[in-house]
Amino acid sequence: MLLAGERAQVCEYARRMTADGLVVGTSGNISVRVGEHVAVTPTGVDYANLRPEDVPVIALDGSPVDGELKPTSELPMHLSVYRRAEDPDDAPITAVVHTHSIHATAVSTLVDEVPPIHYMLAAIGPTARVAEYATYGTDALARTMLAALDGRRGCLLANHGTITYGSSLSAAYHRAQQLEWCCQVWLLARSAGAPAVLPKIELERVHDKLRTYGQP
């Protein structure tokens, strides 16, 4: 089976998204790229029952390569990230995670960008922008998303959710979790008053430190 390992990864992380509360039902989607091929969650399938053979493989031009099921309706966003997004540190982009996480979605209705409420926002960028609203599954949404991703590894989608990417599926998923957590912290702090935020120079300092974070 083509991209068997990557298709199994997509199933594993799709179920994890549900368990972690980042999606509800069949919302949200995940993809992994290998060369010119992308393994991506199918549309309208319960993730609890998702099998590797259910995960379609698509070419970067959007044409089907392997699998019987239709890909997610958000395929234009995923393919746009792989074709046109640029990582701030020139790392390869091999995975995309799109969530409907509740706190980030709520924040997307309030502001144009998530302020630097915590240093872990540097996993995304100096801030996390909110892409202008466009109907789901459209090229218009892919365009507004790309604008918001400029110089960032993730963004919020107005009245919709989030999207993050990484050089691995674990990295992209970790960023989705961190973005949701930062949004939750900001909402909680904002409900009690006017939260203090970190200066831009501190986010830049943390960004540099994160490059060498973890085990070699």
pTM for the whole structure: 0.95
Using a 10 angstrom Cβ sphere, with 0-12 exposed, 13-18 middle and 19 or more buried, the burial of residue 168 is middle
Q: Give pLDDT, residue 179.
A: 98
pLDDT at position 87 over 70: yes
Q: How many C-beta atoms surround the C-beta of residue 68 within 10 A?
A: 9
Catalytic position from the list 74, 86, 113, 132: 74
- Locate 166 and state its tokens: 């990484």
Q: Across the chain, what does the average pLDDT equal?
A: 95
**How is the beta sheet containing 37-40 ordered, strand by strand?**
64-66, 57-59, 37-40, 29-34, 95-99, 161-166, 154-157, 128-131, 113-114
pLDDT in tens, 6-47: 999 999 999 999 999 999 988 999 999 999 999 999 999 999
pLDDT in tens, 52-81: 999 999 999 999 999 999 999 999 999 999
Separation CA 91–CA 95 (nearest Å) = 12
The answer to whether 70 and 78 are in contact (CB under 8 A) is no
3-state secondary structure of 162: strand
pLDDT at position 213 over 80: no
pLDDT at position 212 over 80: no
pLDDT in tens, 107-129: 999 999 999 999 999 999 988 99
Separation CA 141–CA 185 (nearest Å) = 27
Buried residues in 29-38 as b, exposed as e (16+ CB within 10 A): bbbbbeeebb
53 is catalytic: no
